[in-house]
Amino acid sequence: MDLVDRNLLIVTKRKFNGGVKVCTIHDLVRELCLEKATKANFCLKIHKPMSSYPVEVIMTHKQRHVFTYNDLNVMNLSNPPIPSIRSLLCFHTKTSMIFNSDEYIHPYMLLMVLDLQKCGLNRKHFPDVIPLLVHLRYLAICYPSRSFPSSICNLWSLQTLIVKTDFIPLVLPSTISNLVKLRHLWSDGDIYFPPIIKPMKLKTISNVKLGDGAECWLKCFPGIKKLTCALYTYDENDFKSLAYLESLKLIGSGSRKKSMEVDFPKGELILEKNHSTMPATIKKLTLLWCRLPWSDILIIQSLPNPEELNLLDNAFEGPQWDTCEEQFPQLKFLKLQNLNIQQWHASNINFPHLKRLVLLKCNYLEEVPLEIGDISTLELIETDDIISIVESLDRIQEEREVRIIE
């Protein structure tokens, strides 16, 4: 915040509670940072072929962080070797930066960060030398294959693992729990966990699917804080036992492409009428493609602590949402997007602390409840150009000074 106050950082996006979400810097400040970082041997930016760099530049400057937007082969950084490198990041879409031989791996044995998300690895021949980088804490790869290489489970220092699969389901090996320091696991495809012997210390995980019943959530991830869960089966999903869970994203089967449904059992999401299936610790809840009846939202309303609620892409279906007299006691942010709702009955009693309301692609919604304008804490309403919504918001704005973004 000191840097923001001095205009060295520019806040471009904030959270609903006013917290900073995205920052940028001015291009002149960026160039100054790169210049200072290069002189201090903090990083080396490679933006042209390595043959253009004098050998003495690479030999005498003990660069700790290397990033490139140019096609780069690691052998060019291995001869002469740069054993000081700790981070290696490639942002080039097509690259030969693949460790194909043990002779090129030795200068990188102390690597802690390796980002090859832009480099599509061969799905049939995963590089054998990557699992030898035992000091890696952060690994990001593009590996479009269901068969996850079990050899990566030898990276005992790994804390963050990112695997881009081009939305292909990722089946983890039975040895995944050997990654005892792993805290963050992300993939753009669904992650299928095998039965594991010992619990993992994961804090965040995306698109996970368990098939062993409700008790497996606690067994596998007792300390999970942020969970994205793919729900396909008729199994119960009792999240109440997850005492540290703060952010939960539930994805129903309606979002899955047919090509991804082969060999995996699917079903429909069914929220139990008993709200105890969700923990009281939830602060952020996101639902999409769940196709729930609006009556099931009572389960969410009865939770004491949600501050942010996102209902996206047919999360709920039906022409009418009647909030009755039930409250969202702590809700500050509400987003409705791509729903087929036509009528919404609500008042300031239902949302006593709402600060921000977002309405996008709700093409059938006839109007925004005028009572929403009576919410004393409401600061901002964001919407698109749906005529019926805009007209009702104009009436709200006439009565209260609510900022509206279209």
DSSP state letters, 298-356: HHHHT-S---EEEEESSSEESSEEE-TT---TT--EEEEES----EEE--TTT-TT--E
| Alpha-carbon span 231 to 209, nearest angstrom | 7
Q: In sequence order, what E strands does 5-75 have?
A: 10-14, 20-24, 43-46, 65-68
**DSSP labels, 98-131:** ----GGGTGGGTT--EEEEEEEE--SSS--TTGG
Burial label for 108, CB within 10 Å (0-12, 13-18, 19+), is buried
The parent domain of residue 26 ranges over: 1-30
Question: Are 168 and 189 in contact, with CB atoms under 8 Å apart?
Answer: yes
Q: Does residue 347 lie in a domain region?
A: yes
Question: Counting runs of H as helices and runs of E as strands, what totals does the chain give?
Answer: 7, 24
| pLDDT at residue number 268 | 47
Question: Are 117 and 139 in contact, with CB atoms under 8 Å apart?
Answer: no
Q: Does residue 97 lie in a domain region?
A: no
Q: Does residue 115 lie in a domain region?
A: no
Q: Tens of pLDDT along the chain (406 residues)?
A: 999 999 899 999 888 777 899 999 999 999 999 889 888 888 877 776 655 554 455 555 567 888 887 765 555 555 555 667 889 888 876 655 555 556 666 677 889 999 988 877 767 777 788 888 999 999 999 888 888 889 999 999 999 999 999 888 888 988 999 999 999 999 998 898 888 878 899 999 998 887 554 357 788 889 999 999 877 655 567 788 889 999 999 988 765 443 343 343 344 455 544 334 788 899 999 999 988 899 889 889 889 999 999 999 999 999 999 998 889 999 999 999 999 999 999 999 999 999 999 999 999 999 999 999 899 999 889 998 888 888 888 888 877 767 777 7
Question: Are 158 and 130 in contact, with CB atoms under 8 Å apart?
Answer: no
Q: Does residue 364 lie in a domain region?
A: yes
Using alpha carbons, select from 228, 227, 188, 195 the residue that is nearest to residue 210.
195
Distances (CA, A) of 57 to 45, 97, 196, 319: 12, 20, 48, 67
| pLDDT at residue number 271 | 58
| pLDDT at residue number 83 | 66
**DSSP labels, 385-398:** --HHHHHHHHHHHH
Q: Does residue 340 lie in a domain region?
A: yes
Q: Does residue 3 lie in a domain region?
A: yes
Q: Does residue 263 lie in a domain region?
A: no
Number of domains in the chain: 2
| pLDDT at residue number 160 | 98
**Would you give the DSSP letter of residue 177?**
G
What's the CA angle centered on 17, arms 249 and 327, to 5 degrees?
A: 65
| Alpha-carbon span 287 to 84, nearest angstrom | 45
| Alpha-carbon span 207 to 191, nearest angstrom | 6
Q: Which residue has the tokens 């925004």?
A: 368
Q: Does residue 370 lie in a domain region?
A: yes
Q: Which residue has the tokens 């269901």?
A: 146
* Cβ count within 10 A of residue 233: 17
| Alpha-carbon span 207 to 249, nearest angstrom | 9
